[in-house]
Amino acid sequence: MGAYNREGQLTRVVKASREQERERNSGGGSNESTQQRQPSDPNNPDGADNPDGTKAATLPPESRRDLTPFPLDPQFISQPVLSGWFKDQIWKQVILQGLSVREVSASLGVEMSRVAAVVRLVEIEKEWKRINKPLMRQYHQAVMNMLPKTLWNPEETTEENRKKTKTHESINDLPVHVATGQQIFLPTSESRHFTRKDAARVFDAKLLPADDRVPHPELAVMHKEVLEELSDEERKARAEARDASEEQKRKVALARQAKKEASIKKVDIGRFEYRFSEIKVDDAGKDGRGLKGVGWRYGVPLMDRSRGQHKIPRAVE
Amino acid sequence: MARKRFHQLKKVKFRATWNKYNLYNLSRLSMPRTQSLTFYQQKWKAKSITRAYHGEQIREKQWQRMFTPRLNAVVPMDHRYLAEFDGSELAAGRGSGLEKPFDAEKTKRKQAIPYMHQTYAPIERRLDMAIWRALFASSARQARQFVVHGKVKVNGEKMIYPGYLLNPGDLFQVEPEAVLFATGAPKDGPQLRVGRRVLRVRRNRNVGMEKLRAQMAERKAAKASDKASNKDSSKALISSKTPKTLLEDHFEYRKTREADLSTMIQRAEWKQHAKSKMLSAKRKQQIRAFIRHAKSARSKVFRKPFQELEKERLAFVEEFRGSVGSNTLDKAWRQAAKKRAAENSVETEAGAAEGASEEADAPKRTKTPYGERVAEEKLVALEKRIAAMRIQGDGVDPSKPYATPWRPRDFMSAFAFIPRYLEVSPKICSAVYLRHPVARPGLTEVPTPFPGEIQQLAFNWYLRRR
């Protein structure tokens, strides 16, 4: 909608024609021949001719304004979505090639959460195909025709080519932390080497520096190693060490989770599975109003009927 | 009170729908004139026009509770910059970075984060809004209806609360038929007519659409097999199943029962009020009792099971004979009965008053499909019609609530965009809510038709310092 003006004309076409007009006026009659030769040149690099000899009426290239669905709001644009082929490639890399979501995200320039979601959705699609559930192909086609797309470029798989072309989205987004919203004047010695880490500590004692808060901290680390001119073997060894420590962390987390699960006694009676967990009476505290206390306690009001309380589920599974 | 017009043209209010009038209103949408307004009035106006679009289906109080002054934003970081600098260069010089020669291009490239566009971000977290944003419904209200009607699943479980706040990673699925209905073009004249006919047949046979389709397919298969094995009729008999519709349940049958009872009551009433003949008190009592019974039975004729109706029928004939008497038929009544019988050859039950014919008919009726023939004829005609439609275009199915073959509804493309916080798979009508919408430099993820100035005024309204 933002691509059109009030008269319903494509703004970029109107603008291009106006520019041409201006060019013609400023050029005068001296270079008439060149004017005639390139009436749509700036907009139409591949000035294709129609078979009947007339110049093809090609459109000037789309700009950001042409992607704004709302004419009053240039800040919102219809951003491209992943094409079907791109999604299939993501699924292949994660499921068939066994790459981690993090690796695929970094190599393709797609957010990690999106990579995971795409894999999930493609899996469902395959399941539908398996059980012969009809896919909504016509609807899919129609919707994809209406949206800008990020197409899969096989050349992009190599590092150099990918740098040239733009990626689907920025993958290293640093969330703006609430603590950083304030402006702080911190007097400190002139000679102090004041880094991002120090700045984060000033904002909040527990705030991590930006290097650790971005989704892909490993990219900066790898780049640093390249700058240090480490040998390939050394970089490989470091990467392996990083992976090992990550794995260790994951193992610890899994073990903790397993321990927690094990503490719940499960009784399966076929229709239901009862789960018993240990409860301490003392959890209610001395005054009986502790948050961890369970059950109905005398004198403690139940808030579940009062206004503004959540009565609908807040999470599914 | 129900509102008069949702898409009014006089006062431009942009709504969360794909309606064509709404598109026209979007083209006419302009910044409100604020020169002559007080600050309070400006805020009120901004709130009013933005709320007409953002969560119009949510009560104001509910939204006020959802509102938060915290606005989410992200800044894309370059990992190369993070590796090469530790941030100390920003504190060099006099504490605000080493002075560099003025670079106009660099300052131009730096874009502000449109924080104010995040005012209505909490609404985008609602399930109904997410469904609408994923292009599965043509308006936020329709999305809400889909949820309420149980057509939406979240993480594989049915979710009936449109106000469910999605969590990052939640997968929601909408029933494909509902999506096709919401986004497809409406049926035009002939398809609409045939569709209505299908609906009528379905109602008459008292079966669901799925069952009706199955029946029609079965009939078609039977016919095909019949044609294929014309020589060996026994084979065809085995392969083609008889339609499973219970003629006992049939609407036509019940309708005829009602007509019978009506004629019997009418006849009894004639007898009751006839001045030519004096009746004994006992006879009068019998007639009154019969009328009472017959009327109560007539009122229940569409509710009772068939077996009871069938039993009752014979009992009524007996009672009618006993009370009214079959040997005192009026000439007019006989003529009327004849006329009816001639008119409706299918409904051979016209002579209900005549007990003898009634009894003679009874065993026959239990054997032959009663009223079934009508429906069968209708069904055959319908099948023919559908076959004719199929010649015109493949995939035509008038029983669907949208134009077939499916095509997107008009003006859909003007409203089509998928914000980045959703990952949508239209092929399976499913989407994943990746994260909460954020603002980034020069770009917002909350789809809004209003510029930052209006959003800011609305934001100030909800800060509750007026």
Question: Which among A69, A118, A143 is the nearest to B135, CB-wise?
Answer: A143
Q: Which residue has the tokens 């004198």?
A: A299
Q: Look at residue B133 in the predicted model and tell me its pLDDT.
A: 97
Q: Which residue of A has its CA nearest to B185?
A: A139
b/e map of B235-260 (b: 16 or more CB within 10 Å)? ebeeebeebebebbebebbbebbebb
Q: What's the pLDDT band for B5 if we cut at 50, 70, 90?
A: confident
Q: What is the distance between the alpha carbons of residues B198 and B190, in angstroms, rounded to a whole number?
A: 12
Q: Look at residue A33 in the predicted model and tell me its pLDDT.
A: 41
The sign one gets for the Cα dihedral B229, B235, B237, B239 is negative
Chain A CB contacts of B451 under 8 Å are 72-75
Q: Which residue has the tokens 């023919």?
A: B384
Q: Which residues are within 8 A (CB) of A243 and not within 5 positions of it... i.e. 6 or more apart? A: none
Q: Look at residue B319 in the predicted model and tell me its pLDDT.
A: 83
Domain limits for position B316: 256-328
Structural domains in chain B (count): 2
Chain B CB contacts of A170 under 8 Å are 76, 440
Closest by CA to B16, choosing from B405, B447, B355, is: B447
**Residue range B381-410: mean pLDDT, rounded:** 74
What's the pLDDT tens digit per position in A128-167?
999 999 999 999 999 999 999 998 876 655 556 555 556 8
Torsion angle of the four alpha carbons B113, B118, B119, B124, in this order, in degrees rounded to the nearest 10: 170
Q: Is the model's pLDDT at A68 over the cut of 70?
A: yes
| pTM attached to this predicted model | 0.72
Q: What is the distance between the alpha carbons of residues A16 and B54, in angstroms, rounded to a whole number?
A: 36
Q: Look at residue B365 in the predicted model and tell me its pLDDT.
A: 41
Distance of CA A54 to the CA centre of its chain: 45
Q: How far is CA B204 from CA A119, A189, B251, B254, in A?
A: 47, 90, 6, 11
Q: Which residues are within 8 A (CB) of B207 and not within 5 positions of it... i.e. 6 or more apart? A: B215, B245
Q: How many CB atoms lie under 10 A from the CB of residue A307?
A: 7
Q: B323 with B416, same domain?
A: no
Interface check for A115 against chain B (CB to CB < 8 A): the answer is no
Does residue B263 lie within any of the structural domains?
yes
Does residue B360 lie within any of the structural domains?
no
Would you call B451 and A73 a contact, using CB atoms and an 8 Å cutoff?
yes
Q: Is the model's pLDDT at B106 over the cut of 90?
A: no
Does residue B66 lie within any of the structural domains?
yes
Interface of A with B in 127-146 (CB under 8 A): 128, 134-140, 142-146
Pairing of strands B170-174, B422-425: unpaired
Closest by CA to A64, choosing from A55, A46, A77, is: A77
Q: What is the distance between the alpha carbons of residues B340 and B351, in angstroms, rounded to a whole number?
A: 9
Torsion angle of the four alpha carbons A115, A120, A122, A125, in this order, in degrees rounded to the nearest 10: -160
Q: Is the model's pLDDT at A257 over the cut of 90?
A: yes
Q: How many CB atoms lie under 10 A from the CB of residue A249?
A: 10
Q: Which of B54, B67, B423 to mutate to test the interface with A (most CBs of A within 10 A)?
A: B423
Q: Is the model's pLDDT at B92 over the cut of 60?
A: yes
Interface of B with A in 19-58 (CB under 8 A): 23, 26-27, 29-31
Q: Which residue of B has its CA nearest to A112?
A: B434
Q: Is the model's pLDDT at B339 over the cut of 80?
A: no
Q: What's the pLDDT band for B198 if we cut at 50, 70, 90?
A: confident
**Residue range A254-272: mean pLDDT, rounded:** 93
Q: What is the distance between the alpha carbons of residues B154 and B147, in angstroms, rounded to a whole number?
A: 10
Phi, psi of B422 (to 5 degrees): -115, 145
Residue by residue, DSSP assigns B254-309 as HHHHHHHHHHHHHHHHHHHH-SSS---HHHHHHHHHHHHHHHHHHHTTTTS-HHHH
Pairing of strands B157-158, B422-425: unpaired
> A137: which strand partners?
none
Q: B305 with B419, same domain?
A: no
Domain boundary residue, one of B328, B351, B380: B328
b/e map of A185-198 (b: 16 or more CB within 10 Å)? eeeeeeeeebbbbb
Q: B55 with B159, same domain?
A: yes
Q: Is the model's pLDDT at B372 over the cut of 60?
A: no
* Average pLDDT value over all residues in chain A: 85
Q: Look at residue B58 in the predicted model and tell me its pLDDT.
A: 95
Q: What's the pLDDT band for A46 if we cut at 50, 70, 90?
A: very low
Does residue B415 lie within any of the structural domains?
yes
Closest by CA to B150, choosing from B139, B142, B158, is: B158
Would you call B169 and A125 a contact, using CB atoms and an 8 Å cutoff?
no
Q: What is the distance between the alpha carbons of residues B269 and A118, in angstroms, rounded to a whole number?
A: 75
The answer to whether the beta carbons of residues B372 and B247 sit under 8 Å apart is: yes
Q: Look at residue A155 in the predicted model and tell me its pLDDT.
A: 63
Interface of A with B in 250-289 (CB under 8 A): none
Residue B238, CA atoms < 13 Å, CB-side half-sphere? 4
Q: What is the distance between the alpha carbons of residues B309 and B349, in angstroms, rounded to a whole number?
A: 15
Q: B175 with B53, same domain?
A: yes
For chain A, first and last CA: distance in Å?
40
What's the pLDDT tens digit per position in B32-90?
888 899 999 999 999 999 999 999 999 999 999 999 999 999 999 999 999 999 988 88
Q: Which residues are within 8 A (CB) of A33 and not within 5 positions of it... i.e. 6 or more apart? A: none
Tokens at B416, concatenated: 């089509």
Q: How many CB atoms lie under 10 A from the CB of residue B410?
A: 12
Does residue B42 lie within any of the structural domains?
yes
Q: Look at residue A275 in the predicted model and tell me its pLDDT.
A: 92
Interface check for A113 against chain B (CB to CB < 8 A): the answer is yes
The answer to whether the beta carbons of residues B351 and B341 sit under 8 Å apart is: yes
What are the E-state strand segments in B23-107?
Answer: 74-76
Q: Which burial class, exposed, middle or buried, applies to A5 when counting CB atoms under 10 A from its CB (0-12, 13-18, 19+)? A: middle
Q: What's the pLDDT band for B410 if we cut at 50, 70, 90?
A: very high
What's the pLDDT tens digit per position in B411-462?
999 999 999 999 999 999 999 999 999 999 999 999 999 999 999 999 999 9
Q: What is the distance between the alpha carbons of residues B82 and B74, in angstroms, rounded to a whole number?
A: 16
Instruction: Determine the 3-state secondary structure of A169 from DSSP.
Output: coil
